[in-house]
Chain A
Amino acid sequence: MRTASRLLLAVGVLLALPASAHAKTTCMLSRVSGVFETVRAFVQQQIAPGPQRPKPQAVEPAPAGGPSVDLGDLSKPEVVERQLRTAVPTPRSDLKLTVPNGQARLGDFTIGSAETMTGHLLVLGGDANVYGKLLGNLVTMDGNVVMHPGGVVSGDILALHGDVRDQGGEIGGEVRTLSAVTKPPIAPDTASTRSAVMAVGRNVAGVVGVFFTLLALGVGLVTFARPSLDVVSDTASHSFGRSFITGLIGQILVLPTFGMLVVGLVLSVAGILLLPFAVVVFVLLLILGVVRHRLGQQLSVSAHRTGGGVHAVGCLGHFRLGTRGRRDGAGGSGTGDLAGGHSGFRRGAAESGGSPRQLRRSTDPARGSDRRIPLGHAAVRRPSRAAP
């Protein structure tokens, strides 16, 4: 029995040993792998070419009339950046640039701890390391500013597309950094495609919704407000200049009128209650006005083109009436009333400057008297009266 238990123990130890050894080996391997990764990254960092930095050198002042950048006021960094972009499209070795009351440098630049520089300093395409004193403003473009302990800049610092690292220096003025534009992160392809499709779908739905809303407004206008629509149509066709000027003034006055309405209601205190309703009504009236104007224009134009609405489209009532007249004409045996209605259309076209063909066709003996009828009435009203 004792032998059997010893055997079992021995088997257990034998089974446990490889597992433990395996665990240790795995742990060691992962450590070694980590060390290798670190070394590889370090070597890669050393070997891989960094961003192209120009060779450190002074930039000569430009001749009179040449590029110049004033670093006296850095409160508007985007303006300074624009000036620099114009004056220095890309840092070049043969660059010439004037900095009033200062100097420009290309590449990395260091102010030593024993140095004191007077005037503004511009460093292009490199870092500015400040150990000493700079009595003026400091600007870097595509480079960083490093303020080391004991370093002093009496004026402002601006780092364009760079950073300012304050490691214990003294900065008398304001420090600003303006980085490059960042685009929003790009989502994975599928997600972006899906979101684009959804966005397009949403916008299409919006446009369709607006279309149907306007359509409903148009139908309502034609159905319930045809007389006033006729007036709009007549005015647009007969007095184009007047309606144009009136519309222009109306558009200019829309916002002031709205403002006055709101201010007036607010000032009256009690009218504040009406403010939300007034805003909604104003917007609806505006939409109504635009739709009526468009419909009136459409009526006028279609009447001009087709001769009083026989082929008018875009206006349901007009289309219906025109169809009736047309059916009668096509049959050639319509009643006198309907024929009168038909000729009414023709007369409208002739009086409003219809085509010679329409004029010829309108020499129908059954068209009755030759009195002048306003276009809108001729095109829309007369047939409806003539029809039974």
Chain B
Amino acid sequence: MFKQPFVLVTDRGGHLHNALKLMEQLQEAPQAIVTTHGPDIDSLRTSFSNVETVPYLFTWWGKFRWFNPWGAFRHLLKSFRLAKKLKPKTVVSLGASNVVVFCYLAKWMGAQIIHVECMNQVTTRSITGRMLYPICREVLVQWPELLKAYGPKARYEGWVL
């Protein structure tokens, strides 16, 4: 089990699903889950009390997205407040883009960052993985093939599923 309390950060949808699967494998629950708002948040809150949400960095219109400066400002503010409130020693990220700001702020406040690369990434790095790699203590990939694409901080230790 983790020596220190940790915070799990993840986006909604498949990323959150993966985070919950990882939680099932862990002997210790995180001190909080930081995610974005989605249809499964309400049911998650019934089973896990400390769920925090951050606003989206991007605005979606169907399949298209664009950078939303107002959303990004609110995202930055909320991420900062949460990082300050939670003061995590360890942050486990499962992507995607909406976790990057929180991870950088938590790192700045002294946390160690571990990024679990999305299972979709078999041979190529995700944008989130590339952005977080410089501040990560470790990047845990879910396919051994992906190790070639990453640097020495990457490890393959299995699946979250």
The judgment on whether A and B are partners is no
